[in-house]
Chains A and B, each alone.
Chain A
Amino acid sequence: MAEKEPKLTAKEFSKQLTQKYYEGAKHAHEQGKYIAYTTAVSPAELFYAHDVIPIYPENHSVMMITHRMTAELSQSIERKGYTSHLCAYARSDLGFRELQKSPIGGIPDPDFLLACNAQCFTLTKWFEVLSRRYNAPLFVFDTPQFIRDKRAREEIIKYVMEQIYEMIESLETLTGKKFDFDRLREVVEYSRQASILYKTYLDMASYKPSPISIFDALINMAITVYLRGTPEAVQFYQLLVDEVMETKVKKGIGVIPNEKYRLYWENLPIWFKFRDHFKLLASYGAVILTSLYVHAWSYDFDPSDPVRTLAENYASVFSNVELEERAEMALDLFRRYSLNGNLMFLNRSCKAVSFAIHELRDIITEKTGIPALIFESDMGDPRFYSESQIRTRIEAYLETLDQLSFERERGLRE
């Protein structure tokens, strides 16, 4: 009987996949392959179906941020006239191009750029700068706000589908190769499976106590961002789900010992601080479980009509719907995960996700009765982060929650 190979943990597998992916990208040009820069929310399936390697500058920027390089990188471009209030991803990236500093030795230059504005508009302008710099074509994949008007939605999907065909044409021109729709169907099927498993993983936060926190979700989301559309992404999420099931859920082990507050987090994380935040919150029995941000990749694809399904999924991401609908998406998480606290981060870097935060708070608070804390900072630039202030406010907020639950227990409140 053959010895069983020692099984990789999900963490090891993820590391392996990431290394392989960046290695492959580094040598793409030597192997006659093309590099396309793309945005985290975008129909990257088209690239995988056409053997073009999608690279996500945002993802690279997260690495620069967590390595605390952003202030230095940003300063290098501020000297060139860019302002310090641009998105920290963009500033880190443009700074990397200036100083050639990166925790992973950089990313290759683009042959093509795709900016999908379902996520934000910043990326269009940032990629425009890159497109001029590298003299590479930029394709703006335009997704008008997915408003609730039925007629508008039908027309938007038509418009977005037409753009997918335009993009396919651009890819054919770039590579001189015919696009293969059967291959696209296959890739979308992998995306579908990965997305379902990814969502299953995120939804494990509904267990009590929760076996995962948002910080786990943030770490494990990387694979679906840059490898959805590949069989490896499916394997990875299967492994991850099984692992959490076996090691945590079945044993009733929570991610923190005395789970009392199950929190929602609005916006992207403060990347360079999230471990500290985890510890601070845990000391109060609080844990952040989820946010709409991590759910931005729980898609629901239907491979039988790949072009339509790509259009529908990418146009309707939370950052591209009207506020009421976005609030409903958040409220759904409050219900399903039994959340009882709400931290709302107003992120200087990200107008796209932050503006209208007050209105969002009003809706959520009205519907749940849960008070929310709004605080302002920056997801990537420590120069705009005030440790003591944020700490004090989070502590004060948790005390309010304590007080509330005390009153509830004693029947002083509903």
Chain B
Amino acid sequence: MNQKEILEKVQAIAQDPFPYLKGKKTEGRKILGSPLADVPSELIHAAGFLPVTILGTNRPIVKASAHLPDNACSLSRSNLELVLNYQREDFDGFVFPQVCDTTQHLSDIWKMTIPSEFFASFLIPRQVDRTSARHWFYAETQRLKSQLEGFSGSPITDDALRKSIRLYNEARTLLREIYQAKRMSPTLISNRQLFDLIRAFCFMAPEDIIPLLQTLVSDLDAEKSGEEKKRVIRISLSGIVVEPAELFGLLDELKVSVVADDLIVGSRMIDYDVPEHEDLIMALTERHFSKSPFSPIRDVGTRLYDHLLRRVEETKAEGIIYFHIKFCESQDYDLPDMKSVMRERKIPMIVLETEYQTAAKAQTKTRLEAFIESLYGEQIHG
């Protein structure tokens, strides 16, 4: 396959992973779904299952409203809809993390409305600033390991886990290389393409995505040399997840290039590898604590803002587009201070409220255009 074909294939999976997942199921692989947040995929993979991050749906909400009040965040509502209504039979079980009030209750609702062969709560620490959190993450990961072993009927050997860790590390490394190549020559690959790759990584087995990424990386290298330097606005994204994905298409249309982000389905997913460690559960723990901040998880002081600022500085991003998931309480509390920090630092930032099921409105486009124009203006005058 050439670069174009690979990108098309991966994009198709990113947009609708279920044909791919059905294929895996026919091969006898059980699918374990998890809503977004810090579930150690390596462990699930090593147990012989396919870990899949559940990232909502843009199809109409039909059943979820009877279970979740309308001030539930758009992500949780559309996750519930996806599995309850559309793809229930594609999942064999769930590993369910909790990060906020919504996910805690979603977990209860899920258990009652979506019976499945396997359900494990994965109770990640909601603080990462003290040693106790490490001990807890370690204990909880071991508990998950036993549960997975119970479900599969055989122990997860160190060899298997080490192999899964290597695969995930490799996939992440390749994704980072592609991201880095885009940073160097922003037009090499579109925003949509880059983030579709990361999205596909949420759904695909690492052994399936790695060969594709490898070819892409070598092709990109070849192309990079011929690339001419065009002026494009360098942007940093901020938030949790950018949905619907057409928003990336909008960024492409507006000729800006994403060079940094602090998204969960973004850099936070690919920037951190599992380190070498004899104790593999400890290695997974170490990875968790090396990650960048995540809004609902308590972190030291103002690290959430500091981290973003640093990324912006390092990548020379000229502005920040913040994606606010409708009714995400966590972001609601962060935003006013976030805005004032950026104002103080004179970093242009625009906040867009996003919602599944809602195509980017004309208004979003107009606001983005005005924002981008102002960045060009700053560049010319400043």
Residues of A bordering B, CB below 8 Å: 80-83, 85-86, 90, 115, 117, 120-122, 124-126, 128-129, 131-132, 138, 140, 142, 144-145, 147, 149, 151-152, 155-156, 158-159, 162-163, 166, 322-323, 346, 348, 351-352, 354-359, 376
B329 and A86 form a contact (CB under 8 A): yes
Within 8 A of A (CB), among B46-72: 66-69, 71-72
When distances are taken between beta carbons in the complex, the residues of chain B under 8 Å from A166 are: 130-132
A125 and B334 form a contact (CB under 8 A): yes
With CB as the reference atom, state the residue of chain A lying closest to B113.
Answer: A359
Q: Min CB distance, A134 to chain B, in Å?
A: 12
A122 and B121 form a contact (CB under 8 A): no
Q: How far is the CA of A11 from the CA of B280 in the complex (A)?
A: 60
Does B135 touch A at the CB level, under 8 Å? yes
Q: How far is the CA of A115 from the CA of B297 in the complex (A)?
A: 13
| Cβ contacts A to B, 14 pairs, < 8 Å | A120-B101, A121-B100, A122-B101, A122-B329, A125-B334, A158-B139, A166-B131, A322-B108, A322-B111, A348-B69, A351-B72, A355-B69, A355-B101, A355-B109
Q: How far is the CA of A117 from the CA of B298 in the complex (A)?
A: 11
With CB as the reference atom, state the residue of chain B lying closest to A323.
Answer: B108
B123 and A145 form a contact (CB under 8 A): yes
When distances are taken between beta carbons in the complex, the residues of chain B under 8 Å from A115 are: 298
When distances are taken between beta carbons in the complex, the residues of chain A under 8 Å from B102 are: 351, 355
A163 and B132 form a contact (CB under 8 A): yes
Q: A155-B143, A166-B130 are in contact. Are A355 and B329 (CB under 8 A)?
A: no
Q: How far is the CA of A239 from the CA of B239 in the complex (A)?
A: 53
Q: A124-B126, A125-B330, A355-B101 are in contact. Are A81 and B71 (CB under 8 A)?
A: no
Q: Min CB distance, A70 to chain B, in Å?
A: 17
Q: How far is the CA of A115 from the CA of B123 in the complex (A)?
A: 18
Does B136 touch A at the CB level, under 8 Å? yes
A159 and B337 form a contact (CB under 8 A): no
Q: Min CB distance, B127 to chain A, in Å?
A: 4
Which of B105, B112, B131: most chain A CB closer than 10 A? B105
B140 and A85 form a contact (CB under 8 A): no
In the complex, the 4 A-B pairs of residues with the closest C-beta atoms, listed nearest first: A355-B105, A125-B333, A144-B123, A323-B108
When distances are taken between beta carbons in the complex, the residues of chain B under 8 Å from A121 are: 100-101, 104, 126, 296, 329-330
Does B98 touch A at the CB level, under 8 Å? yes
Q: A159-B139, A351-B105 are in contact. Are A82 and B332 (CB under 8 A)?
A: yes
B135 and A159 form a contact (CB under 8 A): yes
Q: How far is the CA of A151 from the CA of B142 in the complex (A)?
A: 11
When distances are taken between beta carbons in the complex, the residues of chain A under 8 Å from B330 are: 121, 125
Within 8 A of A (CB), among B100-125: 100-102, 104-109, 111-113, 121, 123, 125
A126 and B333 form a contact (CB under 8 A): yes
B72 and A359 form a contact (CB under 8 A): no
When distances are taken between beta carbons in the complex, the residues of chain B under 8 Å from A126 are: 333
Q: A142-B127, A144-B98, A163-B130 are in contact. Are A355 and B139 (CB under 8 A)?
A: no
Does B335 touch A at the CB level, under 8 Å? yes
Q: A122-B101, A122-B329, A142-B126 are in contact. Are A81 and B72 (CB under 8 A)?
A: no
Q: Min CB distance, B63 to chain A, in Å?
A: 12
Q: How far is the CA of A377 from the CA of B336 in the complex (A)?
A: 26
> Chain B interface secondary structure, helix, strand, loop or mixed?
helix
Residues of B bordering A, CB below 8 Å: 66-69, 71-72, 98, 100-102, 104-109, 111-113, 121, 123, 125-127, 129-133, 135-136, 139-140, 143, 146, 296, 298, 301-302, 327, 329-330, 332-337, 339
Q: Min CB distance, A115 to chain B, in Å?
A: 8
B67 and A358 form a contact (CB under 8 A): yes
When distances are taken between beta carbons in the complex, the residues of chain B under 8 Å from A145 are: 98, 104, 107, 121, 123
When distances are taken between beta carbons in the complex, the residues of chain B under 8 Å from A355 are: 68-69, 72, 101-102, 105-106, 109
When distances are taken between beta carbons in the complex, the residues of chain A under 8 Å from B333 are: 82, 86, 90, 125-126, 128-129
A159 and B101 form a contact (CB under 8 A): no
Kindly identify which residue among B112, B296, B298 contacts A138, using a CB–CB cutoff of 8 Å: B298
With CB as the reference atom, state the residue of chain A lying closest to B302.
Answer: A132
With CB as the reference atom, state the residue of chain B lying closest to A347.
Answer: B69
A351 and B329 form a contact (CB under 8 A): yes
With CB as the reference atom, state the residue of chain A lying closest to B105.
Answer: A355
Q: How far is the CA of A93 from the CA of B68 in the complex (A)?
A: 27
B69 and A376 form a contact (CB under 8 A): yes
B332 and A356 form a contact (CB under 8 A): no
A81 and B335 form a contact (CB under 8 A): yes
When distances are taken between beta carbons in the complex, the residues of chain A under 8 Å from B332 are: 82-83, 85-86, 125
Q: How far is the CA of A120 from the CA of B121 in the complex (A)?
A: 18
Q: How far is the CA of A159 from the CA of B339 in the complex (A)?
A: 35
With CB as the reference atom, state the residue of chain A lying closest to B127.
Answer: A140
B123 and A346 form a contact (CB under 8 A): no
Kindly identify which residue among B67, B72, B136 contacts A159, using a CB–CB cutoff of 8 Å: B136
When distances are taken between beta carbons in the complex, the residues of chain A under 8 Å from B131 are: 162, 166
When distances are taken between beta carbons in the complex, the residues of chain A under 8 Å from B334 are: 125
Q: How far is the CA of A138 from the CA of B337 in the complex (A)?
A: 16
When distances are taken between beta carbons in the complex, the residues of chain B under 8 Å from A140 are: 126-127, 129, 298
Q: How far is the CA of A60 from the CA of B45 in the complex (A)?
A: 50
A348 and B109 form a contact (CB under 8 A): no
Which of A86, A115, A155: most chain B CB closer than 10 A? A155
Q: How far is the CA of A356 from the CA of B146 in the complex (A)?
A: 29
When distances are taken between beta carbons in the complex, the residues of chain A under 8 Å from B101 are: 120-122, 351-352, 355
When distances are taken between beta carbons in the complex, the residues of chain B under 8 Å from A128 are: 298, 333
Q: How far is the CA of A149 from the CA of B332 in the complex (A)?
A: 33
Q: A124-B298, A140-B298 are in contact. Are A155 and B126 (CB under 8 A)?
A: no
Q: How far is the CA of A80 from the CA of B337 in the complex (A)?
A: 9
A351 and B71 form a contact (CB under 8 A): yes
Q: Min CB distance, B355 to chain A, in Å?
A: 14
B335 and A358 form a contact (CB under 8 A): no
A323 and B112 form a contact (CB under 8 A): yes
Q: Min CB distance, B146 to chain A, in Å?
A: 8
Q: Min CB distance, B129 to chain A, in Å?
A: 8
B71 and A85 form a contact (CB under 8 A): yes
B71 and A356 form a contact (CB under 8 A): no
When distances are taken between beta carbons in the complex, the residues of chain B under 8 Å from A376 are: 69
With CB as the reference atom, state the residue of chain A lying closest to B331.
Answer: A125
When distances are taken between beta carbons in the complex, the residues of chain B under 8 Å from A357 are: 69
With CB as the reference atom, state the residue of chain B lying closest to A321.
Answer: B108
When distances are taken between beta carbons in the complex, the residues of chain A under 8 Å from B298 are: 115, 124, 128, 138, 140, 142
